[in-house]
Structure 1
Amino acid sequence: MVPGQQVTPARHGGSASSRSHGGRARRGKAGTRRKRSPLRIALLIALALLVLVAAGAGWVYLRLNGNINTFDAGGLSDNRPPADASKGENVLVIGSDARTGGNTALGGGDANDIGRSDTAFLLHVYADHKHAVAVSFPRDTLVTIPPCRLPDGSWTQTRTNTMINEAYSVGLTAKGNPACTQNTVENLTGLRVDHTVVVDFKGFAALTDVVGGVKVCLPKDLYQKDLNPKRATRGKLIFTKGEQTVSGQKALDYVRIRHGMGDGSDIGRIKRQQAFVASLLKDVKSNGLTPTHLLPLADAATKSLTVDPGLGSADKLISFAMSLKNIDLHNTKFVTVPWRYQGARVALVQPDTDQLWAALKADRTIDGKDAGGKKQTDAGPSPSASPSPDATIGAGLRVSVYNGTTVPGLAAGAARTLTAHGFTVTGTTTARSQDHTTTRVEYGPGQKSAAETAALLFPGAELAPVTAPGVSVVVGQAYADHPSAAPVPTAIPSRVADDARSADDDPCSNLSYG
């Protein structure tokens, strides 16, 4: 034995020689078995990558699901517009100035204060998924706030002539009451809100950071006092005149600023907010609506979003976002509900407002085009939605007709008018009394939207809720004197359309009011 040489003890009783030869033989065979073709190696690598990707995607979805907050749908009204009130989808977006969850650092104020809504707009996504319009509501708009649920489970009484932003504060909780705002918008428009999304300061600032900033424009230099009019001095310059890119706190200041431009009203601020959202959409679209770009956006947004249960999971939220990818920037419009000043408040202008809602129900675009089709839902196309692109406004709605006068044949004439516009007339007969001067459209629980649609065909018709189910048209003497139907709106009213902004407009155009 060579000095220093170590002898490995024999195991399992075999000699060193036999172990050596046997080992080489076995290694030779094993080497033959391990020899793999390039195709097999590639398949194994691909399989490994798929496992890693699946695991990563699972982690991402778990992360996003953990971020998402939902509000209690139990606060939604039982008397909602029917799901097929329009063929498109309607999304209510609320900008909350709640100070909870770290928002005080961005917005200032008391972290224990009640939640308020600073901004609200209804996004109507047409059924063709190629057009969309966002309708902004001035926060001082006087509306009717229907019964809303309080934290103790009781319900409020109907409040009339009340500012729309007060709906979010019903219950006086720090998180606000998005269900009450949704009830109010549904009651106002007759459109069913499919989804509601609340964005707070943190979520808004995070979104602008993720996209690398948003291009905005200012018509003049602005100072700290313009953001906070209670300041004793003008303060530092915070925005210079012209185009610039903002993100985070700076972006938040831009959309909140109200004074120092135009008449300093909320109307002017709405115009700048619409321009800002348009620029944000441009950035998102330019980056591409792909999972690679959407996931960071979703991660940032979901941390400070509160949504209805229908969007309460990552797959639903991303699926909805992806469903908007075919909407062209030019076909994405921003308008403001028809309004006028009423003292220090804002009143809705009629009949323009009702014509706006009627046009959206009929899926008519800004320029009067029919953008209808099958309504998309989580469960697939709605069976009650008409697939015909030229479906009339009464499609799928059932009414009965009564003659409220002594003029013979009036109910039959009204029935023909309704049928010509797609309604199904379930019967015609004489009313209990024949002294009706105006036409009266009566509707049961949950049928207000259908009644409003029917009333469009009878100038001066009044709406009347009743306890009996269904919708009934009681024609009056006014219809006997002027039996021609009112023209059905085929486009958004001109005063609204003329002031519309497209998402691809110049960021420096139409930035203020007054």
Structure 2
Amino acid sequence: MAGSHKAGAASRREGEEPAAPRRGKKRSRARLIGITSLSVVVLAVAGGGWIYFQLNGNIKTFDDGGVSANRPAASSAGSNVLILGSDTRSGDNAEYGHGKGDIGRSDTALLLHVYADQKHAVAVSIPRDSLVDIPPCKLPNGSWTKEKHNEMFNSAFEVGETVEGNPACTQNTVEKLTGLRVDHTMVMDFVGFAKMTEAVGGVEVCVPNNVYQGDLNPKLGHKGSLIFTKGPQKVSGQKALDYVRIRHGIGDGSDIGRIKRQQAFIGSLIKQVKGNGLDPTSLLPLANAATKSMTVDPALGSASKLISFAMSMKAIDLHNTKFVTLPWRYEGPRVAVVKPEADALFAALRADKTVDGQDAGAKGASPTPAASASQAAPESGKGIAVAVYNGTTAKGLAGTAAESLKSAGFTVTGATTAATQDYTHTVIQYGPGEDAKAKTLETHFPGALLRQGKKPGLSVILGTQYKESAGGASPSASTPAAVPSSVVDAARSADDNICSNLSYG
């Protein structure tokens, strides 16, 4: 249930039904500490086979059969990891959850982009109340749901209502929202969060003002005892969990403000881990706690695979570890995604551009899809049929693109308006076995998103970036958007003062 959100104008697409009200039941929320997988570096340091055996026995994997076949194309421009916090109350989690219920829920989501230079990383927080499209998702009985529109983001994890939650559905939703291919997904529960903070000897945090029991649990009905005093302090275990869950009594009481404190917490945790040193004595308890309460995709389902992933991040320093929040605005009691800014943020990540505008592509690495397309000469479309759709409000754009494609040898089967006119980036959709045709078409639309579907056929939906380039420069001159200034200004580094920028409102 959302905090005290400010009202905002509705912006639903024409013809869509408003989202059905969610159950009014309030739930206490678990909050995830971000880069938890760093703890498995201990394996590389210790090198003992028995440690591999021990941690391998801890690791659980989820069924990736629910991952959509209609995914963004793989890229060499960095890697993307989806990190989720589960607040299931099953098993040992009941000790920390302050509540009941055996359905896995996730109200914390971070999309971590590790740049190709392996010296920069950015974690994008996605507010749980964000209104998004949830694509078809697999149910426990093997059937698939229908696509849903204007739904709360955190409802994707609840699809199927199982104790384990549905990380594959959340992954599908994130890929659809961002246009980024999620390479790995991790889920952490209450126990893992609490035990990890204990394993590192506590985490330094800062509280903006005194906090009481009634702030942590509004159902209490009175102020209650003081649980956090204003200012810096070290927390671990239940106290750490309470810190990242607290929402009321600070700022406007919203989830957005809570996200700011979670980002500060994660940065402080990373600082604590690095300060303790990357040695077996320090990291083995952390790795053990993390893997015992972690569920990952099969591609990360062993100690050796986690080592490889963790080692890829060891050279990222605190200042180059950034935290940002998905561009948002209030829409009644929910959060609307601000599309132009959000699209620009994710376009920058697809191009491996850092928050401060650097090109973080690794030296000697293959060019990113956007870069390679912009450098390649447009290829002949002889023998390739394509349908053209205008995904913007600009009149005549489909016709302009169609004529350009015809002159390049393509057979244009139609040029009309798309179902919605809110596309920022051009999207190329193609069927099974049509990868080569899609790549040829991409040379005429640099920076376009490639999405494979289940149905045969090739189509292109034009976005506003094509509109802008068509009005002056050639489409091939289009460049990836920079991270919006609103996102840059609000970004946090892991080395920032723990008492700065801790709330909203």
TM class by shorter chain equals: 0.7 to 0.9
Q: Which moved more, 1:180-189 or 1:237-246?
A: 180-189
Matched, 1:104 2:94: yes
Aligned to 1:431: 412
Distance 1:60 1:371 in 2: 34
State TM-score, norm by structure 1. 0.76
Distance 1:467 1:389 in 2: 24
1:92 pairs with one of 82, 85, 91: 82
Distance 1:78 1:330 in 2: 37
- CA drift of 1:442 comes to 4.7
Deviations along 1:356-382, one digit per CA (max 9) or x if unpaired, are 11100000001111001379xxxxxxx
Q: Matches of residues 397-412 of structure 1 in structure 2 within 5 Å?
A: none
State TM-score, norm by structure 2. 0.77
Matched, 1:494 2:494: no
- CA drift of 1:193 comes to 0.7
Distance 1:395 1:235 in 2: 64
Local SS of the residue matching 2:162: coil
2:64 pairs with one of 50, 65, 73: 73
One-letter amino acid of the structure 1 residue matched with residue 485 of structure 2: S
Q: Matches of residues 111-510 of structure 1 in structure 2 within 5 Å?
A: 112-373=101-362, 386=366, 391-392=371-372, 427-429=408-410, 431-432=412-413, 442-445=428-431, 467-470=455-458, 472=460, 482-484=471-473, 485=475, 488-510=479-501
> Highest CA radius of gyration, 1 or 2?
1
Q: Matches of residues 6-21 of structure 1 in structure 2 within 5 Å?
A: none
Distance 1:513 1:67 in 2: 38
Distance 1:388 1:348 in 2: 26
Kept in 2, the 8 Å contact 1:410–1:475? The answer is no
Q: Matches of residues 47-86 of structure 1 in structure 2 within 5 Å?
A: 57-84=48-75
Aligned to 1:20: none
- CA drift of 1:433 comes to 5.3
Distance 2:403 2:353 in 1: 27
Distance 2:175 2:388 in 1: 31
Superposed CA RMSD in Å reads 3.9
Distance 1:220 1:452 in 2: 53
**Structure 2 vs 1, CA of residues 455 and 498 (structure 1 numbering), >3 Å: closer, same or farther?**
farther
Deviations along 1:137-183, one digit per CA (max 9) or x if unpaired, are 00000001111111111111101100010000000111211111111
Unaligned runs of 5+ in 1: 1-52, 376-384, 416-424
- CA drift of 1:318 comes to 2.3
Kept in 1, the 8 Å contact 2:427–2:462? The answer is yes
Local SS of the residue matching 1:489: coil
Aligned to 2:31: none
**Structure 2 vs 1, CA of residues 479 and 348 (structure 1 numbering), >3 Å: closer, same or farther?**
closer
**Structure 2 vs 1, CA of residues 389 and 282 (structure 1 numbering), >3 Å: closer, same or farther?**
farther
Deviations along 1:43-96, one digit per CA (max 9) or x if unpaired, are xxxxxxxxxx99982221111111111111111111111222x51010000011
One-letter amino acid of the structure 1 residue matched with residue 412 of structure 2: A
Deviations along 1:275-303, one digit per CA (max 9) or x if unpaired, are 00000000111223344433221111111
- CA drift of 1:235 comes to 0.7
Deviations along 1:209-265, one digit per CA (max 9) or x if unpaired, are 011000000110000011001111111100000000000000000000000011100
- CA drift of 1:398 comes to 8.6
Distance 1:412 1:468 in 2: 20
Unaligned runs of 5+ in 2: 1-43, 390-394
Q: How many residues in Structure 1 have an aligned counterpart in Structure 2?
A: 437
Distance 1:426 1:315 in 2: 52
Kept in 2, the 8 Å contact 1:340–1:346? The answer is yes
Local SS of the residue matching 1:230: helix
